[in-house]
Amino acid sequence: MDIFEKIDRFTIANDYRALGIYPYFHALESRQDTEVIMEGKRRIMLGSNNYLGLTTEPTVIEAGIRAFEKYGTGCSGSRFLNGTLEMHLELERELAAFVHMEGAVTFSTGFQSNLGIISALVGRGDYVICDRENHASIYDGCRLSYGKMMRYKHNDMQELESILSRIPEEAGRLIVTDGVFSMGGDIANLPEICRLAEKYGARVMVDDAHGLGVIGEGGRGTASYFGLEDKVDVIMGTFSKSLASLGGFMAASERVCDFVRHNSRPFIFSASIPPSACATALAALRHLEAHPELPKRLLALSTHARAGLKAAGLSVRESETPIIPIYTYEVEHTLRKAKEAYDAGVYVNPVLPPATPPSECLLRTSYMATLTEPLIDEAVEILGRVLKG
């Protein structure tokens, strides 16, 4: 059989193009901001993970420019060999201090971070236990490891305990959970996860891609939010969201970090973060530390948006975070409503299977600290009109 036969059977993208509701690869013609120019028209951006709005912060932009001028465009090698800048080490020290851990390791992307962390920590004979709504990068990190993956229903602590109780005592155990879940916007039941981990001798890893800069003291994430920084063993985060750059990191004890540096294939065999991306992440982190009011502003605006969406009669999933899903249920209906909102001037993300069950599709809206109440009200009015029409 020709390996390309499956390509001829893949028709869904063209089917949606023919219907005029294909939702992907809309091209930006302006910077990532609260309002963007996308394919020639102004759109209110309710589909970005730029939670603190720092992609347009002048000090962050200037840091990137200075790094280009000083270091050039890239490092041309892995961190393991010729690709470590003093600035990489500086960023790692400041990230570790920010989340109250001993050490940190940076990776070239957030997706790669989960691949590199989990595949290094979970070995043959070990078990990795995952929430079913964890990010795809966690699933792929589990597949790359030599351990056995077991999944529990979303935030179902009874099933998590049932799984833990069945794992052989001599096996290593790592519980991995999103802190803030990327599609639903809800928060992991970290207190109970940590309690069960202690009871059954497991370690805990939190993917805080959507928690860093959003919840916790000064935006320090999920462990800080619950006061459990001393109970979480590994924190993972990304730079492409609150830190307005590209890359990712793990924070843990120094002995865990050193082990990962020497055993993580995605870390060892990948080029290091380019100087400009490293500098902008570092500048964004420092800006967040200097402005702890930003996460509070973000959550206040999210509360304003949630109240407006409910007042418009829309079915939203409850959360405390800037991720507010609006249920649209069926696939084609979801795509049509996303297209109508886009044409009316609001960009949102349609979420379809396999990211949701087939009858629970939704429009994922997400908010930035740099939005204003009038701009949110304008967007909510458009969404209400589109979704109730």
Catalytic residues: 182, 210, 241
Rounded CA gap, 321 and 213, in Å?
11
Rounded CA gap, 363 and 342, in Å?
12
Smallest CA-to-CA distance from 114 within 140, 88, 94 is with 140
Rounded CA gap, 49 and 210, in Å?
8
Using an 8 Å Cβ cutoff, are 234 and 205 in contact? yes
Rounded CA gap, 362 and 329, in Å?
6
H/E element, 159: helix 157-166
Using an 8 Å Cβ cutoff, are 226 and 180 in contact? no
Put residue 121 in one of left, alpha, beta given phi > 0 → left and psi -120 to 50 → alpha. Answer: alpha
Residue indicated by tokens 């829309």 = 314
| Crossing angle between the packed helical segments 331-344 and 373-388, to the nearest 10 degrees | 130
* 3 state DSSP class of 257: helix
